[in-house]
Amino acid sequence: TDRKRLHTAPVGQVFRLRPFHVLVATGGGYAGYRKYEDYKLEQLEKRGIEAPVKLASEWEVALYKSVPTRLLSRAWGRLNQVELPTWLRKPVYSLYIWTFGVNMKEAAVEDLHHYRNLSEFFRRKLKPQARPVCCLHSVISPSDGKILNFGQVKNCEVEQVKGVTYSLESFLGPRVCTEELHFSQAPPGNSFQQQLVTKEGNELYHCVIYLAPGDYHCFHSPTDWRVSHRRHFPGSLMSVNPGVARWIKELFCHNERVVLTGDWKHGFFSLTAVGATNVGSIRIYFDRDLHTNSPRYSKGSYNDFSFISNNNKEGIPMRKGEHLGEFNLGSTIVLIFEAPKDFKFHLKAGQKIRFGEALGSL
């Protein structure tokens, strides 16, 4: 009898823990399977073969979202801040450089021993001459990365990659007060897209830039504009690499993101920093109240902050090329803005781009 009790107690404990273990193991295994699918997709792209669009089902998205990516990203963030012994820095950073193809010759400080932890290495600054800002075009790339998609916004839908769209209103959230953004009042019957366009004859445009782990992690102002409002959406932290973006519809609407809205000389302008796995930290330099991937914020909600006040009627002025913020690791920048119909992009889908290079102009 004693022997039976001795054996049944541990079995009961294992039984209570099993659902969590199964969930994590299944979700992690499925994430690994998706990584393998992404690898095959990259091989097809290198051969010039366009892969067919195959969207994830609801259960696949639910399974992926069940992986505790927010918790893992917070743990990764704390690990990144652990100071490495001097003798270990060069081997660790060299492995990262080799894996992701980092060009350290562009870094302001090339000596790997200078970076006390991984976080400092990820957020390394560049030499001033490494990224000249194009003066001939009105909109420049705010970051290094890969162009996933660009063009006009049609039918209130935006393409995250070719053939896969998401809702403009779901992505940006309810329209910000027109008085705050100094916009003209749009008729209430108009669509969400039409309400964002403030000048007759203008169109709404978008551009999606994916930052890989080896890219420069800071992002800058893409044009001269005024930031009036910030909206923070807590959410999932799923991977945003092109393979996953092609697989999950409205991926950017699921993930945590920070939407900055305001206006430029042609009307509405917005820049959205989208979080991803291991990118628990999105920092906006002039916004000290912003705290991303925080346990106090629940998914499915959003919180707003206005930069318009009695003492500041204009918001935060940003000059083209000025430092705006940074990611803790690679992620995605989405630009959605209003411009005249003769605005033209100087891009090709899939091309690599660097901060300061031209996106488009009139």
Catalytic residues: 144, 220, 331
Phi/psi at 125 (5° precision): -90, 160
Transcribe 142-170 into DSSP letters: SSSEEEEEEEE-BTTEEEEETTEEEEHHH
CB atoms within 10 A of CB 317: 13
Burial string for 57-71 (b: 16+ CB within 10 Å, else e) reads eeeebebbbebbbbe
Paired sense of beta strands 145-152 and 303-306, if any: unpaired
- Residue 133 and residue 162: Cα distance in Å, rounded? 28
The sign of the torsion formed by the CA atoms of 320, 322, 325, 330 equals positive
Kind and range of the H or E element at 99? helix 86-100
Count of helix runs (H) and strand runs (E) in the chain: 10, 17
Cβ-contact 282, 327 below 8 angstroms: yes
List the structure tokens of 43: 């091989």
Q: Record the tokens describing residue 316, joined without a space.
A: 């935060």
Contact residues for 24 (Cβ-Cβ < 8 A; gap 6+): 67, 68
Confirm if 259 and 227 have CB atoms less than 8 A apart. Answer: no
What type of residue sits at position 7? Answer: H
Question: Is-contact 171 158, C-beta < 8 A?
Answer: yes
d(CA 200, CA 203): 9
